[in-house]
Structure 1
Amino acid sequence: MTMPTTRPRFWLTAIVAVLLASCSGPAPDPDAEPASDGSGRDVGVQLFEWTWDAIARECTDHLGPAGYAWVLTSPPQEHITGEPWWTSYQPVSYRVESRLGTREQFAAMVRTCHDAGVDVWADAVLNHMTGLDEGGVGWAGSSFEHYTYPGIWTPDDFHHCGLTDGDDISSYLDADEVQTCELVNLADLDTASPHVHSTLTAYLQDLLSLGVDGFRIDAAKHMAPADVAAVLEPLPAGTGIAQEVIRGSNEPISPEQYTGNGQVYEFTYAKELMGVLAGSPGLALDLGSASARYVPSPDAVVFVDNHDTERNGSTLSYRDADYALANVLMLAGSYGTPQVYSGYAFDDTDAGPAQDASGAVLDATCPAEPGPEAQREAGDWVCQHRWPAVAGMVGWRGVVGDAPVVDAWSEGDAVAFGRGERGFVVVNAGDDAQAIDVATSLADGDYCDVLAAGCDASTVADGRIRLTVPAHTARAYDVAHRG
């Protein structure tokens, strides 16, 4: 992306607004210590199309040590065969056998991640089955037709909405179409049916029996909130839920309708964060204010991008110059529960990950020095969750916990703020270096930049921090990393 040489000042005001608007709590505690109550260990990471064996190793070697709280896997159920990534989102059966690994490998991965202190969430495809009119045979050998899945579903178990030509959704302004017609020909389950409820619940319970801690509910918007509730109600208390409900302008279906079932992904955050960092002159955002449409912070899972949005261009992606800075701002703020994304490079938006001759996905391998500057070709794993600016902020967030946002400041293309007396962050999204001389609630002393290799220390003296931040970079300091 080509960055403009100047940006309007409103984007800085917007960042400060979202940070302050989402914050509430007491004044900074003069005796504040690094968070030890778990309030800062809330960051998830979506390891898109990573195999179960690769996730297990990553939990032990990187996710646990970095402070990630949970990992979201790709769908584990049997799916159609084929190279594209979206084959994983066309279920054939609810057997835990996929091109990412076997049931035994999945269960072993969950145990390994738990041993590393990382919870495991699974992407659950409940709304639909396949989109293949001719049917076929799934990854694990299960035969199927478009509306017949032996031993699971018959044609009576599917919606046939009769509202549009071909039964496909044509208007998102019609709630009945969105929730009973087909999404791009995907066989749409009649999720109001008790039989469908019980079958889907049984699948989720099977994953729970393997140790899964929570679920991303794919395409939740295409199921009525009451139908989602009926599937989830029998699950144990404490099961994590994050529902995919994409907010659309003037649409009758909104994320707020689903918060009774659990958290929702707040797509508005990701889309508006992209606008803020791009500095579009025509964009007038007030992130986090009453004029923006956001669910309350406890109900929101926030993200910079995911596997859909990095392909459709509705958010930033690894290709964008300020992608790392967007992650810094997300992880530094107090709105929502953050989810980092980590996928693979692509030129074709349909392209799947690297696979062997049988179609099994190859284990992810990260570059020796992952980061925005790493050279990559299509199919290479980007490993955003290991980028120093991202992994460093995950640890920083673990230190600051739920401390309130304080000492907000902005000038030019830079913004700075603290989290109580536990941490301080500076982001410079401009094209020029920015001199910083600002007040901070950190105690006087030397602090290491947690986003840098080694200890690149800055000094707080007389309650102020003075430093120069290069263009398109950030600095972050916390009380657990003193110089």
Structure 2
Amino acid sequence: MTLLRRDRTSRPAALIATALLAGALLPLSLQSAAHASSTAPAAPSASPAPDGGDVIANLFEWNWLSVANECTTVLGPKGYGAVQVAPPEDSIRLAGSTHAWWDVYQPVAYDLNSRMGTEAQFAQMVTACHNAGVKVYADAVLNHTAGANQTSTDSYGGASFNPATYTYSNVPYDSSDFHFSPPCPNSDMSITDWNNVQQVQECDLSSLSDLYTEKDDVRAKLAGYLNKLVGYGVDGFRMDAAKHIAQADMANILSRVNNTTWTGSRPYVYQEVIPGSSGQLAPSAFEGNGSVIEFTYAYDLKSQFNGNIANLKTFGQSWGIEPSNLSSVMVTNHDTERSGQTLSYKDGSKYTLATVFELAWGYGTPQVYSGFDFSTSDQSPPADANGFVTATDCSSGAWICTDRNQGIANMVGWHNAAQGQSVANWWDNGSSAIAFSRGNTAWVAINNGGSAVTQTFSTGLAPGSYCDVIHGTPAAGGTCSGPTVTVNATGQATVTVNPGDSVAIYATGSNGTVAESFNENKTTSWGQNVYLAGSIPALGNWDPNAAIPLSSANYPVWGGTLSLPANTSFQYKYLIKDSSGNVTWEGGGNHSASTGSSGDTLNDSWQN
């Protein structure tokens, strides 16, 4: 809580057929509806394993019932790996205030009755998210309690406390559990030198009473709070103000925390460490306790999307960012969107495009931030008269539901499919438009300029028709609710990208598909090759430019195995292309077939 202080070559047909047979390269238009649909599947009788995705949906200060609903209806079906929720402990409620968003960052007790809901609702939320395959990461405030400058003794959960006397009866804490001067070198407990370790870690951050985390009793109580959350199923923690807790203290606290109950693994820890300090206070100095939140990444994205995104070709650790495996990256968060240090929803298409880039680039563990509309920096989330946060209504304009944006939500599946694939097939126009693939699995183009860009791109993908997931959602039977992109036999696609917009396609595994083999007996002349086209997107929708090349490995039989949607009827024909590009279709009527539930082998001879 920081705001208070501040070139691909053409591929032989035999190799294409081999890759498709292995199930490695399937058009997105063939993926199953169960994962792509925004309608939640029926809840299983027992909590399933997490889906393996790593994208975090940061639902800033959504109440627990709304988070549960989002996990069930959006995050799980779209493939988000985790949800970050607001600090769940009881916090101060300022008398007569407008209930600023930051009151939840002033803890007064470690029960879980907060302005987001009751402890029972919190537990229900975690279960609902797990049932949807989504992990839960809690924002954990360990550095401090409420500010000693506060006069309110009222909280959302009814705890007994008095910040002026450092008394927190429900924990309990008393004045011996807090830092004073000394050891803080400043008598007013302020931090004046952000490179001074003692000041940063033993003085008060923005008048917030700094806990004496060197004390064993304090460490035990903080670990007890984290273990309470783990007991309810929490899978990880965003460590608020981690820069202000000595690394040894944090290590000791974390050593007392249990393994998670859902997966039996260690909790995922990502720490708020604002860059700018050096040595022991630099972000890299905290990596022994977990990942760090990458503010520099977000600052750089703002700079490039307000400048020249072609520079992003080299974006990564060489820019001064922490290593990918230790970085939790973001486009914005609740602090930086208010300070203007990063892009935010107020930046319109630039914000959306930066989030698409974040999900596509594959650096670090990405966050998608969904907060609420604000006109003043302290503004409360939508709440009732007592400050309790009301249900999220994404249609009202009061909430900014970035996680539901069609293109961004569908890019989560793109991101998951591209895991482990390197950036390839980079293209840029020198300024405002870029395109790249992730290996041979996924491809994206981003146009941050003011006019449309039309280009024939090398995508790296296998031939076929792919759903543009920015403007449409794949559905059962290989259909797409929006436009499709045709990739030809050499992996190229001619695409128009509108200003302030993007286009993205990707290939998936064999979910909802079967292996269908085609063998065509045809003697050809030198320079001629046999192709396959048909009535469904995976067969190019009868477009000869999108026809599938077959292998001549068993000449005169030309063959290939494709992944087609299961239980789907289709028609198909063979055609010949010669070295001059001339196309000759097979004669006679169309062949008809159905994939069924297990696929088949279709043996044909050329019809005159």
Normalization by structure 2: what TM-score? 0.70
- Answer whether contact 1:304 1:316 (CA < 8 A) is retained: yes
Residues 91-240 of structure 1: pairs in structure 2 closer than 5 A: 91-133=107-149, 134-146=151-163, 147-151=166-170, 152-161=172-181, 162-235=184-257, 236=259, 237-240=265-268
Residues 339-354 of structure 1: pairs in structure 2 closer than 5 A: 339-354=367-382
> What is residue 270 of structure 2 aligned with on the other side?
242
Q: Does residue 455 of structure 1 match 2:482?
A: yes
Distance 1:396-1:40 versus aligned 2 partners, 3 A rule: farther
- Answer whether contact 2:87 2:141 (CA < 8 A) is retained: yes
- Answer whether contact 1:78 1:95 (CA < 8 A) is retained: yes
SS of equivalent to 1:124: strand
Residues 457-472 of structure 1: pairs in structure 2 closer than 5 A: 457-461=484-488, 462-472=490-500
Higher CA-based Rg? 2
Distance 1:181-1:284 versus aligned 2 partners, 3 A rule: farther
Deviations 1:424-450 (A, max 9, x none): 000011111111212221011211101
Residues 66-465 of structure 1: pairs in structure 2 closer than 5 A: 66-82=78-94, 83-133=99-149, 134-146=151-163, 147-151=166-170, 152-161=172-181, 162-235=184-257, 236=259, 237-248=265-276, 250=278, 252-279=280-307, 287-290=315-318, 292-321=319-348, 322-367=350-395, 376=397, 380-412=398-430, 413-453=432-472, 454-461=481-488, 462-465=490-493
Distance 1:289-1:90 versus aligned 2 partners, 3 A rule: closer
Which amino acid is 1:463 matched to?
G
Which amino acid is 2:250 matched to?
V
Q: CA RMSD in A?
A: 2.3
Which amino acid is 1:86 matched to?
W
- Answer whether contact 2:360 2:411 (CA < 8 A) is retained: yes
Deviation at 1:164, TM superposition (A): 2.2
In structure 2, C-alpha distance between the alignment counterparts of 1:217 and 1:90, rounded to whole Å: 14
> What is residue 547 of structure 2 aligned with on the other side?
none
SS of equivalent to 1:406: strand
The more displaced of 70-79 and 348-357 is 348-357
SS of equivalent to 1:226: helix
> What is residue 60 of structure 1 aligned with on the other side?
72
In structure 2, C-alpha distance between the alignment counterparts of 1:186 and 1:38, rounded to whole Å: 37
SS of equivalent to 2:108: coil
> What is residue 585 of structure 2 aligned with on the other side?
none
SS of equivalent to 2:399: coil
In structure 1, C-alpha distance between the alignment counterparts of 2:52 and 2:224, rounded to whole Å: 33
- Answer whether contact 1:40 1:400 (CA < 8 A) is retained: no
- Answer whether contact 2:50 2:81 (CA < 8 A) is retained: no
- Answer whether contact 1:276 1:285 (CA < 8 A) is retained: no
Deviation at 1:171, TM superposition (A): 1.9
In structure 1, C-alpha distance between the alignment counterparts of 2:442 and 2:314, rounded to whole Å: 25
Give the structure with the larger strand fraction.
2
> What is residue 533 of structure 2 aligned with on the other side?
none
SS of equivalent to 1:479: strand
The more displaced of 170-179 and 307-316 is 170-179
SS of equivalent to 1:416: strand
The more displaced of 444-453 and 342-351 is 444-453
- Answer whether contact 1:40 1:401 (CA < 8 A) is retained: no
- Answer whether contact 1:128 1:186 (CA < 8 A) is retained: yes
Unaligned runs of 5+ residues in structure 2 are: 1-17, 32-48, 260-264, 473-480, 510-536, 539-608
The more displaced of 243-252 and 325-334 is 243-252
What is the percentage of aligned positions where both structures have the same residue? 41
Deviation at 1:266, TM superposition (A): 1.1
Deviation at 1:390, TM superposition (A): 1.0
Deviations 1:260-306 (A, max 9, x none): 1111111110111110110079x99963253x222211111000001
SS of equivalent to 1:426: strand
In structure 1, C-alpha distance between the alignment counterparts of 2:338 and 2:255, rounded to whole Å: 33
In structure 1, C-alpha distance between the alignment counterparts of 2:242 and 2:445, rounded to whole Å: 37
In structure 2, C-alpha distance between the alignment counterparts of 1:332 and 1:214, rounded to whole Å: 24
Aligned residues: 443
Deviation at 1:258, TM superposition (A): 1.3
- Answer whether contact 1:40 1:399 (CA < 8 A) is retained: no
Which amino acid is 1:154 matched to?
D
Which amino acid is 1:93 matched to?
A
Q: Which has the higher contact order (CA 8 A, sep 6+)?
A: 1
Unaligned runs of 5+ residues in structure 1 are: 1-28, 368-374
- Answer whether contact 2:93 2:152 (CA < 8 A) is retained: no
Distance 1:324-1:360 versus aligned 2 partners, 3 A rule: same
In structure 2, C-alpha distance between the alignment counterparts of 1:137 and 1:457, rounded to whole Å: 56
In structure 2, C-alpha distance between the alignment counterparts of 1:121 and 1:250, rounded to whole Å: 28
Which amino acid is 1:434 matched to?
V
In structure 1, C-alpha distance between the alignment counterparts of 2:296 and 2:281, rounded to whole Å: 14
- Answer whether contact 1:172 1:251 (CA < 8 A) is retained: no
Which amino acid is 1:410 matched to?
D
SS of equivalent to 1:136: coil
> What is residue 13 of structure 1 aligned with on the other side?
none
- Answer whether contact 1:449 1:475 (CA < 8 A) is retained: yes
SS of equivalent to 2:145: coil
In structure 1, C-alpha distance between the alignment counterparts of 2:268 and 2:351, rounded to whole Å: 28
> What is residue 44 of structure 1 aligned with on the other side?
56
Normalization by structure 1: what TM-score? 0.87
SS of equivalent to 2:333: coil
Deviation at 1:143, TM superposition (A): 2.2
In structure 2, C-alpha distance between the alignment counterparts of 1:136 and 1:149, rounded to whole Å: 10
Deviation at 1:252, TM superposition (A): 4.9
In structure 2, C-alpha distance between the alignment counterparts of 1:106 and 1:249, rounded to whole Å: 36
Which amino acid is 2:64 matched to?
W
Deviation at 1:195, TM superposition (A): 0.9
> What is residue 8 of structure 1 aligned with on the other side?
none
- Answer whether contact 2:317 2:324 (CA < 8 A) is retained: no
- Answer whether contact 2:51 2:133 (CA < 8 A) is retained: no
Deviation at 1:33, TM superposition (A): 4.4
